[in-house]
Structure 1
Amino acid sequence: MTTTSSDQSQSDVAKSAIKKVTVRLVPFVAVMFFINYLDRSAIGFAGPNGMEADLGLTAAQYGFASGIFFVGYILLEVPSNMALHKFGARVWLARIMITWGIVAVLFTWVNSYAQLSWLRFALGIAEAGFFPGAILYLSLWVPARYRARTLGLFYLAQPLTSIIGAPLAGWLMTHDGAFFGLEGWRFMFLMVGLPAVIMGVVAWFYLVDDPNKVKWLTPAEREWLTSELAAEAKDKAGADSTKESGHGLAALKTAFTTPRVWALAVIYFGFIYGLYTLAFFLPTIIGDFAEQYDTSFGLVQKGLITAIPYVPAAIVLYLVSQHVTRNGLKTYHIAVPAFTGAVSVPLALFAGSPALTIACIAVTACSIFAALPNFWTLPTQFLTGAAAAAGIALINTWGNLAGFAAPYVTGWIRDANDGDLKLAMFVVGAAMLLSCLTMLGLARSGRVDPAERVPVQAGH
């Protein structure tokens, strides 16, 4: 078939529009996500490096304080995302960042387990809705067939938080007493909290809610992008009743009564259980190397070791997202990483050396990040509008239940087994295996057909 000049022109406009959106918006939102994840996981760096000792925390108390963040997050998750749909991403995402930045800074002066727990709870309330809001915001700018690539680039911020953030946190904690006599972990909390406030103010002026309102797209690019997104929304709404957007209670009803949404919530739960076990306890596992293998590492060295698993994870995330973009999402893109993570995570604590332990953890990190950005293309295949906002928030809420359960259960099991984490890692493996089995069940039932996604031709 011969390509006409009109078709070629349309292709050039599409390519140019997506490139501009990718350059203008994705890095900015990714930086917001970088700061978001760094602030919520900063306790993982602080805990084994002075905070637990200074506050007299047990492993279970540390796990509870880490996880209680997600209870606050869950309480306002769906309402926050509905508010974003009503007021617009620019206003709501900026508000979220400024609020959580203020709370994050307050960790500098925490003096007890009770204060730590309440502040973590408040941080969850402040951050509620950011991640699903960011996913929804990008979906309002990027048509479905380009979304895997876009979300892959956005999701790179999460492993990069550990690659950059872990050594940075380690370096900040070496400044013990250098700033008004603050302990190193307190100084670290201060310095990772302030950027959120600054970025929130910038977001207020930088983000735009509607492609029609930006000057950096040409008229042809604006017309193509808005028509493509409008046609996509119309197709979703017309295909079956689960794709109707609805408003208010109708949108909530659509999200809460759609079996596919709940199945995806179960899948996401397993991946997030693994993710936050690593986020909060990898520094602890590295700290235990001193007793297990008679090794000694400084704070910066611990930060660098913590970062190691996330380097290959970032590479795998990017490569898999590119593969999905070109070939379409298939069941194995979700199921295989879930199974691989289920096997590798418990093996880590039987590896027999620091190097092999980190290698097994790297496999787990690669598995989690290979699946997550592609997973988030699934809900918007059958939900749109307010129902998409509610559905994405509901799925993310279940992920946040895993975020609470993972550190608390892991800490409780560790206390019950005299500091041994092996049983806790088998629980992580079981959660990820459940994700694998649920994805396979969905594929067999036909309730979610990843293969229906339209791949992007090379060069687009």
Structure 2
Amino acid sequence: MASEIQDPESDLGRDTIRTVTLRLMPLLGLMYLVAYIDRQNISYAKLEMVGALGLSETAYGLGASLFFLGYFLFEVPANVFLERVGARIWFARIMFTWGLVTVLLGFTHGTAMFYVLRFLLGVAEAGFFPGVLFVLTLWFPQAHRGRMIGWFMIASAFANAIGAVVGGALLNLDGVLGFAGWQWVFLATGLPALLLAVVVLVALPDGPGVARWLAPAQRDWLVRTIEAERQEGGLTEHGNPFAALLDRRVQMLACVYIAFPLAAYGLSYWLPTVVKGFGVSSLANGFINVIPWLVTAFALWWVPRHAARTGATGQALTWHVVGPALVAAAALALSVVLPGNAVKFACLCVAAAGTFSAQPVFWTMPGTFLRGASAAAGIAAINSVGNLGGFVAQNAVPMIRDATSSDLVPMLFLSACLAAGAGLMVLVLSALRRDAARRSAPGDAATAG
């Protein structure tokens, strides 16, 4: 049995990972798909909502960005609470509350209400994404996590693709049952979250030890394999999980991660507006916007898979994060300077793929030095601080657009931020490798940093 614990590619190990993947990842992916649609639906509602409510582009940007402020303030407490009460109850609560707030957004009648509901949507969803990243550390050995995070994040790409089609189609329901098209965007995308909350309560186990769909031998192998990694990896678990916020490794990762949500949300929120500037209808806009997210889905599958199959470690692993980010930064800049709508759109497709596909391997990093409640708090802190990039993007992009009267010039700002983040990422991941080498040295005890 000891050899099975040490060999994740044993027959029992492969069968167990396959079973967990097939039973767990579709549900988590569906949850993220619904969450992402509810987070991004405003980019399509905006096409009519701004005029209907008399909002300026800057006022819209502030309202959209308030989501990230609520997210930032409640992310870490939410993830610590998840670690204590379990994923099943906490994820169901998250889905119910964010679905309810999304539906209420369909009844927005003024700027103040728009601001309040966007803030509450961030509060409601706080803890979901980092919560899933933490839950994956309970279910998958380290060698498999990059690919699983990639599969999970593919849901965000499909959400953008589905949201593009559905958002454009829902706008055409203008006047049906007395609701405007932008209202239908919120009503139709909020209801699935409410329904899925019930599914989560029934179908999601809190951990492998209570998963009835795993055979006893599979449960035993998985629990012991993950526990062996925790004990042998020199991982840190603080007495108070909130102490993870003071861990310098968490702080470094949080700072450099800001560039990714900044570029991702700046691009995904603004892409429908850029395509509209090509002179297409709302329905055509939706279908055209499927393309970049299909390209992104492929990149999210390929990059972490390539990292895992090549056994990339050290500097090679770093470039699976930095490389896609630099490609995305270059593509964003080229989308502004190259002529032709088709060429500009192709550049934005590459930019989306690079921005998102850099993240799965990045998110394996916290699990290399934290465990338990400290991992839950640390992952949440990194995501919470990093998502302030979304707050910046949702204010900066509309302001740059208003100042330049160009839908594409804001892409230069996103490009510069992403390139700077990629450069800093090289330094931070190098520091983490040195820390890991120190912790694994014989006789050197792990410290909180």
TM score, norm. by length of structure 1: 0.90
Q: How does 1:325-340 map to 2 (within 5 A)?
A: 325-329=308-312, 330-340=317-327
CA distance in structure 1 between the partners assigned to 2:401 and 2:76 by the alignment: 33
CA distance in structure 2 between the partners assigned to 1:10 and 1:23 by the alignment: 17
1:246 aligns with 238
1:182 aligns with 179
Q: Helix, strand or coil: the match of 1:244?
A: coil
Aligned partner of 2:156 among 155, 158, 162: 158
Q: Helix, strand or coil: the match of 2:140?
A: coil
How far has the Cα of 1:137 moved from its partner?
1.1
CA distance in structure 2 between the partners assigned to 1:444 and 1:8 by the alignment: 28
Q: Does 1:322 align with 2:319?
A: no
1:256 aligns with 245
Aligned partner of 1:361 among 348, 363, 368: 348
TM score, norm. by length of structure 2: 0.92
Q: Is this contact kept in 1: 2:66–2:119, CA < 8 A?
A: yes
2:441 aligns with none
How far has the Cα of 1:266 moved from its partner?
2.3
Q: Is this contact kept in 2: 1:331–1:450, CA < 8 A?
A: no
CA distance in structure 1 between the partners assigned to 2:34 and 2:418 by the alignment: 26
Aligned partner of 1:167 among 158, 165, 168: 165
2:374 aligns with 387
Give the residue type in structure 2 aligned to 1:285.
Answer: V
Q: Percent identity?
A: 38
**Structure 1 residues 54 and 450: alpha-carbon distance in aligned structure 2, compared to 1, 3 A threshold:** farther
CA distance in structure 2 between the partners assigned to 1:184 and 1:232 by the alignment: 52
How far has the Cα of 1:38 moved from its partner?
0.4
Q: Is this contact kept in 1: 2:333–2:412, CA < 8 A?
A: yes
**Structure 1 residues 9 and 369: alpha-carbon distance in aligned structure 2, compared to 1, 3 A threshold:** closer
Q: How does 1:107-126 map to 2 (within 5 A)?
A: 107-126=105-124
How far has the Cα of 1:346 moved from its partner?
2.4
CA distance in structure 2 between the partners assigned to 1:27 and 1:448 by the alignment: 36
CA distance in structure 1 between the partners assigned to 2:431 and 2:209 by the alignment: 40
Q: Does 1:378 align with 2:365?
A: yes
Structure 1 residues 425-434 or 84-93, which shifts more?
425-434
2:287 aligns with 304
How far has the Cα of 1:423 moved from its partner?
4.2
Aligned partner of 1:232 among 224, 229, 232: 229
Aligned partner of 1:144 among 124, 142, 145: 142
Q: Is this contact kept in 2: 1:17–1:221, CA < 8 A?
A: yes
Give the residue type in structure 1 aligned to 2:35.
Answer: N
How far has the Cα of 1:165 moved from its partner?
1.8
CA distance in structure 2 between the partners assigned to 1:401 and 1:220 by the alignment: 44
Cα offsets for 1:377-426 (capped at 9, x unmatched): 11111111111011101100122201111011111122222x22444222
Q: Is this contact kept in 2: 1:328–1:450, CA < 8 A?
A: no
Cα offsets for 1:210-240 (capped at 9, x unmatched): 212122111111111000011112123xx2x
1:209 aligns with 206
1:12 aligns with 11
1:289 aligns with 278
Give the residue type in structure 1 aligned to 2:121.
Answer: L
CA distance in structure 2 between the partners assigned to 1:328 and 1:135 by the alignment: 21
**Structure 1 residues 449 and 321: alpha-carbon distance in aligned structure 2, compared to 1, 3 A threshold:** farther
1:412 aligns with 399
Q: Helix, strand or coil: the match of 1:308?
A: helix
How far has the Cα of 1:311 moved from its partner?
1.2
**Structure 1 residues 172 and 404: alpha-carbon distance in aligned structure 2, compared to 1, 3 A threshold:** same
The ranges of structure 1 where at least 4 consecutive aligned residues each deviate by more than 3 angstroms after the TM superposition are 4-10, 443-452
CA distance in structure 2 between the partners assigned to 1:422 and 1:113 by the alignment: 26
Give the residue type in structure 2 aligned to 1:325.
Answer: A
How far has the Cα of 1:340 moved from its partner?
1.4
1:431 aligns with 417
For structure 2, the residue ranges without an aligned partner over 5 or more in a row are: 439-449
**Structure 1 residues 395 and 446: alpha-carbon distance in aligned structure 2, compared to 1, 3 A threshold:** closer
**Structure 1 residues 62 and 7: alpha-carbon distance in aligned structure 2, compared to 1, 3 A threshold:** closer
CA distance in structure 2 between the partners assigned to 1:198 and 1:357 by the alignment: 39
**Structure 1 residues 333 and 450: alpha-carbon distance in aligned structure 2, compared to 1, 3 A threshold:** farther
Give the residue type in structure 2 aligned to 1:390.
Answer: A
How far has the Cα of 1:267 moved from its partner?
2.4
Q: Helix, strand or coil: the match of 1:309?
A: helix
**Structure 1 residues 182 and 448: alpha-carbon distance in aligned structure 2, compared to 1, 3 A threshold:** farther
Q: Does 1:277 align with 2:266?
A: yes
Give the residue type in structure 1 aligned to 2:71.
Answer: Y
**Structure 1 residues 7 and 404: alpha-carbon distance in aligned structure 2, compared to 1, 3 A threshold:** closer
**Structure 1 residues 8 and 261: alpha-carbon distance in aligned structure 2, compared to 1, 3 A threshold:** closer
Q: How many residues align?
A: 432
CA distance in structure 2 between the partners assigned to 1:35 and 1:431 by the alignment: 28
**Structure 1 residues 41 and 8: alpha-carbon distance in aligned structure 2, compared to 1, 3 A threshold:** closer
Cα offsets for 1:167-210 (capped at 9, x unmatched): 111112211112x2111111121000000011111101111112
Q: Is this contact kept in 2: 1:308–1:358, CA < 8 A?
A: no
Q: Helix, strand or coil: the match of 2:139?
A: coil
CA distance in structure 1 between the partners assigned to 2:123 and 2:274 by the alignment: 29
CA distance in structure 2 between the partners assigned to 1:451 and 1:188 by the alignment: 51
How far has the Cα of 1:450 moved from its partner?
9.5
**Structure 1 residues 422 and 358: alpha-carbon distance in aligned structure 2, compared to 1, 3 A threshold:** closer
CA distance in structure 2 between the partners assigned to 1:28 and 1:8 by the alignment: 27
Q: Does 1:21 align with 2:20?
A: yes
1:458 aligns with none
